Structure 1
Amino acid sequence: MKNLGVTVLLLAGMALTGCLESGGGKEVPSNLNNGDFVTEPGGDDNASQGNGGTTTPTNPDDDGTKTPPQPSAPDGFDINKGEVLTASTNLSLDFYPPFQSAYLKVSENETCANGDWVRYANSMSFVSAKTNQAVPLSVQFRDYDGRMSSCYTRKIFIDQAGPEIVFAKYPSAPVEEGLDVEIVFSVTDAGAGVDTVTCEFAGVSKACLAGQNKVTFPKMAGGDYTFKVSAKDKLGFASEKSVSFKVSSLYKQMVQNVKVNAYQKVDILFVIDNSGSMEYEQKSMANRVRNFLDVVKGLDWQIAVTTTDPVHSTLGDGRLVPLYGKTNSYILNSSMADADARYTLGMTLQRPETGSGDEQGIYAAYRAIERSLGAIGSNKNFIRQDSQLAVVVISDEDESANGPKNDPANFVKYVQDSFAGQKAMSFHSIIARPGDKACLSGEGYSAGFRYEQISKLTGGVIGDVCATDYAAQVQGIAEGVRKTLKSFTLTCAPVIDSMRSLLVLKDGQVYNGTRSIQGLNVVFDEMLPAGNYEVYYSCLK
């Protein structure tokens, strides 16, 4: 969804000070965070749609009098005198049969099926069982001789819910004092439309806009904060959501013990967007990922596939999908013949069904791991205790919900807690990248803010879902999977500065292998020798 961008700046005012524990106690400037902020419209889409004050020329011979057009009767029937939107499930129907009728039938569908024939009346009330959606009604007439009319169909949107508020980007871990905080959220209403949006922070409320908003709070002082968004639609229904975050300048000292084995096992989960908006990308998915297995050759790998659909009873909610052309088989492994494995993976990723438009790739990966650890159904035996983990999401839209299992930091913590800090992991994303205007104005449905966040958090690759060929980025992802075997995934983001460093011991001795920090991952240039490692580092509390 391409929504408007709005930048909200937090201005100076409240006398809050803090001390950053770096470089000899650098002091944060005072007068931060008084809660005052401004809202600016982003783009031309907010321009008035009026006629600009122009008038329609008149005929000089016209005396100004006009005969108003005579209304014609609706074809068959109408709902609520022609309304297309209502807040009530109690609907008023008026009938206009094509002949003198004795009976009529009202059905809550578009086919005139399942309704009951009743005595004809000029009007009647109908109570719908559906809300918050476009409700179809169909009517058919019958005379005393049994002649039946065509099936007449109308729709009305019954809206009884407030606008939908979705936070796409927000701090999922403590923020160091003195840094900026950015929040991206959207406010939409499929029925009546959004009427008002209010943002509240630090006791100050101001108007925000419908659509997508970006809020920036600069140079935050230490403390606990909540940003709240309230919205009403044009029927008066309201909704409210908020995100909370912590700003801190305090650090905690961490030590992590990791046992490294000589074997090279990795479990790879593909999460594929099978929604309707991915139709273009799906047409050539098998060809787009054709070279993935070439790069992971030589590893002891397992590969499985799930979808971004959070609800489907067989293909969603983290369930592994059946392998193409294989009976009761859900997991590829490195013992298969290369050509067979490559063909099977490509065809399994190229989904034929149309899944839910409520895409949730992070949630699906979380649930896939839960199901594997619980030995549930097809997921049994997928995640091995002594392997590393890589997740690859391919989607043209961002995570569509805000539950605990949709959160990047919660996902990483769940993996770390489930395997006692022994499993290195990476999360790779082929998405509509934030800021990629060409993709977002083409096949990219909405920017993948949270997929970008979790990939950066785990040192993963961020690819372009709109690319005509995924070969180069799939190769990069496969190389990233190999890097996972040379990595430690830490429990929190390490702080490296003049006072804090990261120390690695192997079997009690300092290990000086060349390494880099990529999000939560410490990635070494060479494969780690087998042994017992200790990693000492500092994190923000």
Structure 2
Amino acid sequence: MKTMNLKNLLILSVMTAATAACSKMEFSPAPLEMASSVPGTSVSFSQVVGYGNKQVDFLIVFDDSNSMLPDLKKLAAGLGDFVGSLESSGIDWQMCMTTTRAMNSVWGFSADWVGYSPTSGTPAYLLKKGTPNLTNIFENTVNTMAIGGSGSADERGLKATYNHFALAGSNGCYRSGAALSVIIVSNEDERSVGGDPSKVKANDAVGSLIPLEAEDMPENVVAMAKQKFGSDVRFTFNSIIVKPGDKSCEAMQDAASASPSHEGVYYEKLSVLTDGGVGSICDSSFANNLNTFRDKIVNSMTHMTLQCVPAAGTVQIKINGANFTKFTVAGQVLKFNSPLVEGTKIDLAFDCQ
């Protein structure tokens, strides 16, 4: 891994959510057909998920180990257009970044973006919607990194994300109610081989097999996100990795550097857990990967507040005309098990308790 040659390393994501991720919404629907909340009253209405709070907070996690410079440059080249497409979609984004290595012996610090002159009151580690010359900023930042420096062999993208979330109160990278989207690019797994002795290769550095800790586990990263940002936070973890089972890509990565690559098993697990995107690090360009992440970052509804507490067993829902049962009710709050994206038509009927 590389050491970061960046000034003013500060405690920080991204998120976001990514590359996927949308903001949580909480609103009272505007029914077409409405009744009062008198007990026993029947309520029915239709609602189309519209544009709401479209704030997304990103965390970019750079793997700065020995072999990663070409791939980081590919990511930097694509990020400008990616963020530009978010802005044209009406997404109110902001972005911080960290690396898979420990900085000052702590994972989850953020560094200033290079070539970025923020407006007064905005720290240099926090990019915001409307920033000009984004591609130059991303490329300058990557080109300033010292690839493969001290400590870079212990790649811990999940621990860095976990700690970044844990430090949310002091790093200023996350807004109340915003979605979280993390994008990581790495040609290895958590702690290089994911704690799996069968993945160690002959040319791996001595000591590459290191046990995973609690902060390295995908489930615990999700738990930290919920602890810090609420149980209904919209969080997506998006990975550009050597996909598990893609031996051709792994061989290509191995041939390109003296440092061996490894399947991103744990990174893929967290992407699956959070409905994030998974792209191949062997693609000639990351544009398609980033477009996949962008398509997940659309406005979504995770829950709605009803006019009354529904009587048990009376809630009936259709989504785009089809019966839908993947929901829970807590008091007056109807929660969907997965977010409903903008344009989705909801038909809802229930009796007041």
TM-score (norm 1): 0.42
The 1:364–1:410 alpha-carbon spacing in structure 2 relative to 1, beyond 3 Å, is same
Q: Equivalents in 2 of 1:466, 1:430: separation in Å? A: 9
Q: Equivalents in 2 of 1:516, 1:432: separation in Å? A: 36
Question: Who is 2:62 aligned against?
Answer: 272
The 1:479–1:259 alpha-carbon spacing in structure 2 relative to 1, beyond 3 Å, is closer
Give 1 or 2: higher strand fraction. Answer: 1
- Of residues 155, 169, 173 in structure 2, which corresponds to 1:359? 155
Question: Who is 2:184 aligned against?
Answer: 393
Contact 1:459/1:521, CA 8 A, preserved across alignment = no
SS of the counterpart of 2:294?
Answer: helix
> Any stretches of 5+ residues in structure 1 without a counterpart?
1-257, 489-503, 530-541
- Of residues 437, 441, 462 in structure 1, which corresponds to 2:247? 437
Question: Who is 2:333 aligned against?
Answer: none
The 1:442–1:345 alpha-carbon spacing in structure 2 relative to 1, beyond 3 Å, is same
Contact 1:281/1:465, CA 8 A, preserved across alignment = yes
Question: Who is 2:104 aligned against?
Answer: 313
- Of residues 95, 99, 106 in structure 2, which corresponds to 1:303? 95
Alignment of 1:332-481 (within 5 A): 332-337=127-132, 340-349=133-142, 352-354=145-147, 355=149, 356-373=152-169, 375=170, 380-400=171-191, 401-443=211-253, 445-481=261-297
Question: How much identity, in percent, do the aligned residues show?
Answer: 26
Q: Equivalents in 2 of 1:475, 1:286: separation in Å? A: 14
Q: Equivalents in 1 of 2:135, 2:325: separation in Å? A: 32
SS of the counterpart of 1:276?
Answer: coil
* Deviation, structure 1 residue 370: 1.6
Pairs aligned (count): 244
* Deviation, structure 1 residue 289: 3.2
The 1:345–1:329 alpha-carbon spacing in structure 2 relative to 1, beyond 3 Å, is same
* Deviation, structure 1 residue 458: 0.7
**Highest RCO, 1 vs 2 (Cα 8 Å, sep ≥ 6):** 2
* Deviation, structure 1 residue 450: 0.4
Question: Who is 1:294 aligned against?
Answer: 84
* Deviation, structure 1 residue 487: 5.2
Output the amino acid matched with 2:83: L
Q: Equivalents in 1 of 2:76, 2:277: separation in Å? A: 20
The 1:457–1:288 alpha-carbon spacing in structure 2 relative to 1, beyond 3 Å, is same
Question: Who is 2:339 aligned against?
Answer: 523
Q: Equivalents in 2 of 1:334, 1:322: separation in Å? A: 16
* Deviation, structure 1 residue 422: 3.3
The 1:474–1:516 alpha-carbon spacing in structure 2 relative to 1, beyond 3 Å, is farther
Q: Equivalents in 2 of 1:304, 1:292: separation in Å? A: 15
* Deviation, structure 1 residue 467: 1.2
Q: CA RMSD in A?
A: 2.8
Q: Equivalents in 2 of 1:524, 1:351: separation in Å? A: 41
Output the amino acid matched with 2:181: A
Question: Who is 2:49 aligned against?
Answer: none
Of structures 1 and 2, the larger Rg is shown by 1
Output the amino acid matched with 2:130: S
The 1:284–1:367 alpha-carbon spacing in structure 2 relative to 1, beyond 3 Å, is same
Output the amino acid matched with 2:283: A
Runs of 4+ in 1 over 6 A off after TM superposition: none
- Of residues 9, 23, 26 in structure 2, which corresponds to 1:260? 26
Contact 1:282/1:351, CA 8 A, preserved across alignment = no
Q: Equivalents in 2 of 1:390, 1:516: separation in Å? A: 27
Question: Who is 2:196 aligned against?
Answer: none
The 1:428–1:456 alpha-carbon spacing in structure 2 relative to 1, beyond 3 Å, is same
* Deviation, structure 1 residue 326: 2.8
SS of the counterpart of 2:220?
Answer: helix
SS of the counterpart of 2:61?
Answer: strand
The 1:516–1:306 alpha-carbon spacing in structure 2 relative to 1, beyond 3 Å, is farther
SS of the counterpart of 2:236?
Answer: strand
* Deviation, structure 1 residue 278: 0.9
Contact 1:285/1:350, CA 8 A, preserved across alignment = no
Contact 1:289/1:346, CA 8 A, preserved across alignment = no
Q: Equivalents in 1 of 2:183, 2:84: separation in Å? A: 16
Output the amino acid matched with 2:109: R
The 1:424–1:447 alpha-carbon spacing in structure 2 relative to 1, beyond 3 Å, is same
Output the amino acid matched with 2:145: P
